[in-house]
């Protein structure tokens, strides 16, 4: 018989190239167990998270954290820069502190250099942000931080940065906040 699994991938493009991403899988357990070895031959992990459709919701939840962590990294490093701190040193210290996160490690160096080679293109990520907002509306979940971050990402996109990595949100901070 036929079956269906939804299997969105979580990970930056470089993580996926190394095989370090993860499949979020939605569907029948027996079908998942049959295909798990195949999935794990491509990426490090495949995890059954629920029924069909729930894997995509978890992918949106993961990307919500990516959006907020990336925007927070941009905001924090903007404060560090404006306060006159040595940005490479500040980033190194932050990555060794309780403030460390995967997104700070991935996007922090881009923010410090002011160069944004796309691990995740802003144009594509904006689609995910809108899907997050739609999913939240459908289940009655408030997303106030996501809504605020979306305005910053939209400003960077409107300024012509859609083809760059979403870390380019840092360029919108000065213009939107006016500092």
At 111 the pLDDT is 97
Which positions ≥6 away from 55 have C-beta within 8 Å?
6, 7, 8, 23, 24, 25, 26, 27, 49
SS (H, E, C) 37-75: HHHHCCCCEEEEEECCCHHHHHHHHHHHHHHHHHHHHHH
Q: Give the mean pLDDT of 5-30.
A: 93
Sign of CA dihedral 125, 100, 14, 38: negative
**Of the listed ranges 2-6, 41-45, 137-141, 171-175, the one predicted with least confidence:** 171-175
Question: In whole angstroms, what is the distance from residue 144 CA to residue 149 CA?
Answer: 9
CA–CA distances in Å: residue 74 to residues 17, 42, 51, 103, 135: 25, 32, 36, 10, 26
At 15 the pLDDT is 86
Tell me the domains of the chain and their CATH numbers: 9-52 (no CATH), 57-177 (1.10.1040.10)
Whether residue 98 has pLDDT greater than 60? yes
Instruction: Give the pLDDT band of residue 1 (cuts 50, 70, 90).
Output: confident
Question: In whole angstroms, what is the distance from residue 67 CA to residue 33 CA?
Answer: 32
What are the tens digits of pLDDT across the range 100-142? 999 999 999 999 999 999 999 999 999 999 999 999 999 999 9
Question: In whole angstroms, what is the distance from residue 30 CA to residue 177 CA?
Answer: 51
**Of the listed ranges 5-14, 27-36, 62-71, 130-139, the one predicted with least confidence:** 5-14
Radius of gyration of the chain (CA): 18
Instruction: Give the pLDDT band of residue 30 (cuts 50, 70, 90).
Output: very high
Measured CA angle at 50 (ends 24, 25), to 5 deg: 25
């Amino acid at each position: 018989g036929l079956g269906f699994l939804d299997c969105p991938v979580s990970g930056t493009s470089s993580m996926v190239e190394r095989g370090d991403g993860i499949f979020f899988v939605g569907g029948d357990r027996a079908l998942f167990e049959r295909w798990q070895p195949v999935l794990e031959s491509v990426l490090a992990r495949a995890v059954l998270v629920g029924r069909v459709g729930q894997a995509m919701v978890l992918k949106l939840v993961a990307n919500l954290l990516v959006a907020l962590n990336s925007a927070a990294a941009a905001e924090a490093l903007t404060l560090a820069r404006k306060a006159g701190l040595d940005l490479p040193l500040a980033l190194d210290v932050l990555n060794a502190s309780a403030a460390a996160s995967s997104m700070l490690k991935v996007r922090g160096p881009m923010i410090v250099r002011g160069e944004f080679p796309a691990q995740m293109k802003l144009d594509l990520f904006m689609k995910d942000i809108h899907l997050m907002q739609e999913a939240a509306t459908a289940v009655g979940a408030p997303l106030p931080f996501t809504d605020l971050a979306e305005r910053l990402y939209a400003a960077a996109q409107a300024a012509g940065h859609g083809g760059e990595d979403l870390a380019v949100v840092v360029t919108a901070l000065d213009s939107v906040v006016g500092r």
